[in-house]
Amino acid sequence: MKRRIPLIITFLIGTILIFSFFIPPMKNLEQTSTLFFDVIAVFAFFLGGGNLLRVHINKLRRRRKDWGFSSVTLIGFFVTLAAGLFKIANPGGIAASPTTEGALLQEIFTYVLVPLQSTMYALLAFFVASASYRAFRAKNREATILLLAAFVILLGRTPFGMMLTSWMPDSLSVFQVPNLAIWVMNSPNLAGQRAIMIGIGLGVISMSLRLILGIERTYLGEEGA
């Protein structure tokens, strides 16, 4: 029964969502099922928060390796929670939104969270460089083609690329580096992406049918039927 109920729910909701795409009066049911998911997700958030606290409090209490990081996590968690819950330093008082300018929660967001997020995001630039270095080594035919395509696109997106081939007459403008870059992006690249998208679409249909028909049950913690 523990497994059968989720399977029935999956079948019903899956079928409703498919039919609602074609049957206009069922549109509301689609919205209702999506709303149900949101409600469940909100309750599950407490599970997540509880788990986070349990893991880090245990680590701190038992002085496990790297427990210092756990103390930072816990301090951050409780300070942010208190700032939002009690609306600490809120210019509009308890009645105003905790995201008002000057409120502690908003200050934490602006001066702690956003810079930290930006820092992590900024790492991407360095990782792109290191990954490109490895990917673009001309070790075989495919990698050489990739290297050439990347070279054309990188050059085509810079003023230097334009300058390099601007002397070409209009009749040969298709061979100017910026135009070559556009061609690479719009023709071979787009064709490849669309092929992948068609595959993904078909894969989603097949996977969804396996889930709806109850053939695929691994996600419920059960071997396939």
Partner 1 sequence: MTDFDTTKIASDLEKVVVAPVSSLIASDHKYDNGESIDLLWVPSIDDRLVNGKVIGYKVYRIEDGGEPQMIAELASGSNAYNDQSVERGKLYSYFVSALSSSAETPSTKTASIEPQKEWLNFKLINVLIIALVLGGAVIYFIETARRGKKLFVRKIAGLEAVDDAIGRATEMGRPILFIPGILDMDDVQTLAALTILGRVARMIADYDTKIFMPVSRSLVMTAARETIKASYQAAGRPDAYSDDAVTYVTDEQFGYVAAVDGIMVREKPATCFLLGAFFAESLILAETGNSVGAIQIAGTARPAQLPFFIAACDFTLIGEELFAASAYLSDEPKQLGSLKGQDVGKAIAMIAILIGVLTVTIGEVWNVGWIQSITTKLMEMFSTK
Query: Any contact of residue 5 with partner 1 (CB under 8 A)?
Result: no
- List of residues 6+ apart from 176 with CB closer than 8 A: 162, 165, 166, 168
Binds partner 1 by CB under 8 A, chosen from 9, 57, 96, 113: 113
Residues in contact with partner 1, total (CB under 8 A)?
66
Q: At what angle do helices 114-135 and 141-156 cross, to 10 degrees?
A: 130
- Binding string to partner 1 for residues 45 to 84, with x set by CB under 8 A, is what? xxxxx-xx--x---------xx--x---------------
Distance CA 222, CA 140 (A): 43
* Nearest distance from C-beta of residue 166 to partner 1, angstroms: 30
- List of residues 6+ apart from 179 with CB closer than 8 A: 156, 173
Binds partner 1 by CB under 8 A, chosen from 5, 120, 141, 167: 120
Residue (124 or 163) nearer to partner 1, CB: 124
Q: Cβ–Cβ contacts within 10 Å for residue 122, how many? A: 9
DSSP state of 218: G
Q: Report which secondary-structure segment, H or E, holds 182.
A: helix 177-184
Binds partner 1 by CB under 8 A, chosen from 94, 101, 121, 140: 121
Q: Cβ–Cβ contacts within 10 Å for residue 82, how many? A: 13
Looking at residues 194 to 223 of the shown chain, list those that interact with partner 1 (rule: CB under 8 A): 196-211, 213, 215-216, 218-223
For binding to partner 1 (CB under 8 A), which residues are involved?
18, 21-25, 27-28, 34, 37, 40-41, 44-49, 51-52, 55, 65-66, 69, 113, 116-117, 120-121, 123-124, 127-128, 130-132, 134-135, 193, 196-211, 213, 215-216, 218-225
